């Protein structure tokens, strides 16, 4: 997900909509029935009616029972009325299903034994929720392109897939294969996940048929508008060819072509530094949307209005594209582990700048992130969380999953070195050290797994590093005391946790690395000699001047809001 709104958000609803907490939460613990199935295939039919802001859905879902199963349990927003449910082709009586709060329970005609398959067809329709502020408030965006034609998008990371299709709304609820049949009024275009199988047109309607493998549940997206398409190919350093596609609004050809020109460079960076593009047999796809952006697998939403930042590239495109590796290829096992998506994805931007232009822009980008680190909540709480809690700055880590996460990776890289760092990241993403096209599959991962990988790759125990940085909110403090002949250093950590982090000290014109065994160390320091702690900014640590800046900025923003309110 993106970090801040750069454009006016289109498609606002006039009135707040009725909602249930179950529907608005994404990532609640799966029910026993959901744990007991493997989601094999989803065929999702959508007829989209722009003038009515309505959808007609027809979903056929196939599961294999991993344990004996008396019923299916899914999630579907109760605002979407269910017209019919069939099991293996036979219609069920309405008494066989219930969906009062958005958790759809379907009694099977006969309980399934372990290993048996079941196919459920769910026909439904209604007006789906309208996003108040997409993509941070998930749902549909019903907008208009500059020429007045319908421009429609979905963005449901925060609230989940159940806002418009029946699913298991949990990170581990991914179907192995998803096919979409998206029917829209001609001549609108529906850009989708995966590979385009064909387009059928009849009676003023177009049906686009798409097929994708192992997509994230929230990555399934509808993107509909008066699009033009740019196509190309990228010859990978791994020997395969990757299709490139960009669907942009009509009349924006020059800007779109310039952005399209960034695709090969971004691909080359990720393939060289991390590993093969995970969905090369489908496409690298981007679609222009009326909201800022979202990491929809192989069809990333882009709404940054072609604006480049001070570093001369489109950070939004790059950030969302990073999620193809950190989010879509490697998916966290629980939303509590969301820093594995956002922290790694955010670190890719300064890393890209270092790869592209050098160290100055790398450090400048990281310094900008450092000012956003709040340290109010740990990145990982150790218990199952819903998405909204994790992304909240008030009750969860919020922006820290981006900025603090990126800084943790920067510090880890400096500690263990480039070879061990990138080997560890590669193994986390692919489950192996030698990924090549065709020898890996999308996978789930956790922070504990990453810690174990780092320990295995380095041959050392770095649990202490993650215990302080990931599982505690407060940053370690580096205390320095000077006497006549030396400088004594000591780490102060939350809960007095061990923290043997080495510290570089510049003494005059030379840099000395202090080992800090037991969290303490010292360096000889002649009288009147100037010293600088951590002169190359390798360490994520408590910095009072950053805290003072944050407090002052917050006070000034509050005063500005109050003044604006008085002037109204």
Distance CA 141, CA 510 (A): 57
Distance CA 551, CA 86 (A): 58
The pLDDT value recorded for residue 11 is 31
Give the confidence band of 1 by pLDDT, cuts at 50, 70, 90. low
> Per-residue pLDDT tens for 489-544?
999 999 999 999 999 999 988 999 999 999 999 999 988 899 999 999 999 999 99
Catalytic annotation, pick one of 320, 337, 388, 449: 320
Residue extents of the structural domains in the chain:
333-469, 477-544
Residue 567 has pLDDT above 60, yes or no: yes
Q: Render 139-194 in DSSP notation, one character per residue.
A: EEEEEE-TTS-EEEEEE-TTT-GGGTS-B--STT---SEEEEEEEEETT-EEE-SS
Give the confidence band of 3 by pLDDT, cuts at 50, 70, 90. low
Token output for 155: 């963005």
Beta strand 177-185 pairing with 205-213: antiparallel
Give the confidence band of 2 by pLDDT, cuts at 50, 70, 90. low
Residue 226 has pLDDT above 60, yes or no: yes
| Contact between residue 248 and residue 227 where contact means Cβ atoms under 8 Å apart | yes
Give the confidence band of 38 by pLDDT, cuts at 50, 70, 90. very high
Report, as an integer, the average pLDDT of 333-350: 97
Give the residue from 243, 295, 287 showing the smallest Cα distance to 264. 243
477-544 shares the fold of 333-469: no
Report, as an integer, the average pLDDT of 124-143: 93
Distance CA 405, CA 346 (A): 8
Our answer to whether residue 402 is catalytic in this structure is yes
Give the confidence band of 136 by pLDDT, cuts at 50, 70, 90. confident
The pLDDT value recorded for residue 57 is 98
**Pseudo-torsion of CA 175, 168, 386, 369, nearest 10°?**
20
Catalytic annotation, pick one of 402, 430, 462, 469: 402
Residue 31: DSSP 8-state: P
The pLDDT value recorded for residue 251 is 93
**Exposed/middle/buried for 21, CB within 10 Å: 0-12, 13-18, 19+?**
exposed
Homologous superfamily of 333-469: Neutral Protease Domain 2 (1.10.390.10)
Q: Is 319 annotated as a binding residue?
A: yes
Which residues, 6 or more positions from 346, have their beta carbon under 8 angstroms from its beta carbon?
A: 3, 319, 322, 369, 402, 403, 405, 406
Distance CA 211, CA 489 (A): 58
State which H helix or E strand residue 277 sits in.
none
Angle at 445 between CA 332 and CA 211, to 5 degrees: 65
Distance CA 129, CA 56 (A): 14
Report, as an integer, the average pLDDT of 124-133: 94
Q: At what angle do helices 359-370 and 403-416 cross, to 10 degrees?
A: 130
Q: Which residue has the higher pLDDT, 552 or 273?
A: 273
Residue with tokens 């309505």: 54
Our answer to whether residue 524 is catalytic in this structure is no
Which residues, 6 or more positions from 378, have their beta carbon under 8 angstroms from its beta carbon?
A: 397, 470, 471, 472, 473
Residue 478: DSSP 8-state: E
> Per-residue pLDDT tens for 154-208?
999 989 999 999 999 999 999 999 999 999 999 999 999 999 999 999 999 999 9
Buried/exposed code over 505-529 (b: 16+ C-beta within 10 A; e: otherwise)? bebeeeebebebeebebbbebeeee
Phi, psi angle pair for 529, to nearest 5°: -90, 130
Distance CA 119, CA 539 (A): 53
Report, as an integer, the average pLDDT of 268-297: 97
Q: Which residue has the higher pLDDT, 549 or 96?
A: 96
Give the confidence band of 8 by pLDDT, cuts at 50, 70, 90. very low
Radius of gyration of the chain (CA): 25
The pLDDT value recorded for residue 231 is 98
| Helical residues (DSSP H) of 357-402, grouped into ranges | 359-370, 387-391
In the chain, the percentage of residues whose pLDDT exceeds 70 is: 97
Give the confidence band of 568 by pLDDT, cuts at 50, 70, 90. low
Residue with tokens 């490139």: 244
How confident is the prediction for the chain on average, in pLDDT? 94
What SS3 state is found at 216?
coil
| Contact between residue 152 and residue 48 where contact means Cβ atoms under 8 Å apart | yes
Q: What is the number of other CB atoms lying within 10 angstroms of the CB of residue 146?
A: 11
Give the residue from 12, 4, 1 showing the smallest Cα distance to 369. 4
Tell how far CA 195 is from the center of its chain: 22
Q: Is 524 annotated as a binding residue?
A: no
Beta strand 90-91 pairing with 195-202: unpaired
Residue with tokens 């030698």: 434
> Per-residue pLDDT tens for 304-314?
999 999 999 99
Q: How many residues are present in the chain?
A: 568
Q: What is the number of other CB atoms lying within 10 angstroms of the CB of residue 460?
A: 12
Residue 334 has pLDDT above 90, yes or no: yes
> Per-residue pLDDT tens for 215-225?
999 999 999 99
The pLDDT value recorded for residue 508 is 87
Which residues, 6 or more positions from 123, have their beta carbon under 8 angstroms from its beta carbon?
A: 57, 58, 59, 82, 83, 84, 85
In the chain, the percentage of residues whose pLDDT exceeds 90 is: 89
The pLDDT value recorded for residue 6 is 30
Residue 9 has pLDDT above 90, yes or no: no
Which overall architecture, per CATH, does domain 477-544 show? Sandwich (2.60)
Token output for 379: 């990145």
Give the residue from 465, 338, 461 showing the smallest Cα distance to 399. 338
Residue 288 has pLDDT above 80, yes or no: yes
Report, as an integer, the average pLDDT of 136-163: 95
ω into 285 cis (within 30 of 0): no
């Amino acid at each position: 997900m993106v970090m801040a709104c750069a454009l006016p958000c289109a498609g606002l609803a006039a009135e707040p909509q009725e909602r249930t907490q179950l529907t608005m939460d994404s990532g609640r613990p799966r029910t026993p029935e959901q744990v007991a199935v493997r989601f094999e295939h989803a065929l999702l039919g959508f007829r989209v009616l722009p003038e009515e802001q309505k959808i007609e859905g027809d979903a056929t879902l196939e599961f294999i029972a991993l344990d004996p199963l008396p019923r299916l349990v899914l999630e579907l927003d109760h605002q979407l009325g269910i017209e019919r449910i069939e099991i293996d082709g036979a219609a069920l009586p309405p008494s066989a299903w219930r969906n009062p709060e958005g958790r759809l329970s379907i009694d099977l005609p006969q309980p399934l034994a372990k290993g048996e398959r079941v196919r459920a067809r769910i026909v439904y329709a209604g007006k789906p929720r309208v996003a108040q502020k997409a993509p941070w408030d998930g749902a549909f965006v019903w907008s208009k392109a500059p020429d007045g034609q319908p421009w429609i998008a979905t963005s449901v990371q925060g609230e989940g897939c159940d806002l418009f299709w029946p699913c298991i709304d949990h990170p581990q609820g991914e179907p192995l294969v998803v096919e979409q049949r998206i029917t829209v009024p001609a001549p609108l275009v529906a850009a989708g996940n995966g590979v385009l199988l064909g387009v059928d047109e009849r009676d003023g309607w177009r049906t686009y048929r798409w097929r994708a493998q192992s997509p994230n549940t929230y990555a399934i997206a509808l993107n509909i508008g008066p699009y033009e398409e740019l196509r190309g190919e990228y010859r990978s350093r791994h020997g395969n060819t990757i299709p490139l596609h960009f669907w942009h609004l009509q009349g924006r050809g020059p800007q779109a072509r310039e952005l399209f020109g960034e695709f090969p460079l971004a691909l080359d960076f990720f393939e060289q530094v991390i590993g093969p593009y995970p969905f090369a047999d489908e496409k690298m796809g981007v679609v222009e949307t009326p909201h800022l952006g979202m990491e929809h697998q192989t069809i990333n939403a882009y709404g940054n209005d072609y604006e480049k930042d001070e570093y001369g590239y489109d950070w939004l495109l790059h950030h969302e594209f990073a999620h193809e590796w950190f989010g879509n290829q490697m998916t966290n096992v629980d939303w509590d582990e969301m820093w594995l998506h956002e922290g790694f994805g955010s670190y890719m931007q300064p890393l890209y700048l270092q790869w592209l232009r050098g160290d100055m822009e790398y450090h400048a980008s990281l310094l900008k992130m450092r000012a956003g680190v709040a340290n109010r909540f740990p990145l990982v709480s150790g218990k199952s969380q819903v998405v909204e809690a994790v992304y909240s700055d008030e009750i969860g880590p919020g922006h820290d999953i981006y900025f603090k996460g990126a800084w943790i990776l920067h510090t880890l890289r400096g500690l263990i070195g480039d070879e061990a760092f990138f080997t560890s990241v590669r193994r986390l993403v692919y489950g192996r050290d030698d990924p090549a096209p065709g020898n890996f599959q999308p996978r789930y991962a956790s922070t504990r797994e990453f810690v174990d990988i780092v320990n295995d790759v380095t041959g050392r125990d770095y649990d202490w590093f993650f215990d302080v940085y990931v599982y505690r909110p407060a940053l370690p403090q580096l205390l320095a005391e000077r006497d006549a002949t030396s400088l004594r250093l000591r780490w102060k950590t939350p809960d007095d946790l061990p923290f043997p982090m080495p510290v570089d000290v510049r003494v005059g014109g030379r840099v000395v690395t202090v080992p800090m065994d037991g969290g303490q160390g010292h360096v000889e320091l002649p009288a009147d000699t100037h010293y600088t702690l951590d002169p190359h900014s390798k360490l994520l640590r408590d910095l009072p001047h950053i805290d003072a800046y944050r407090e002052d900025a917050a006070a000034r923003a509050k005063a500005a809001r109050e003044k604006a309110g008085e002037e109204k």
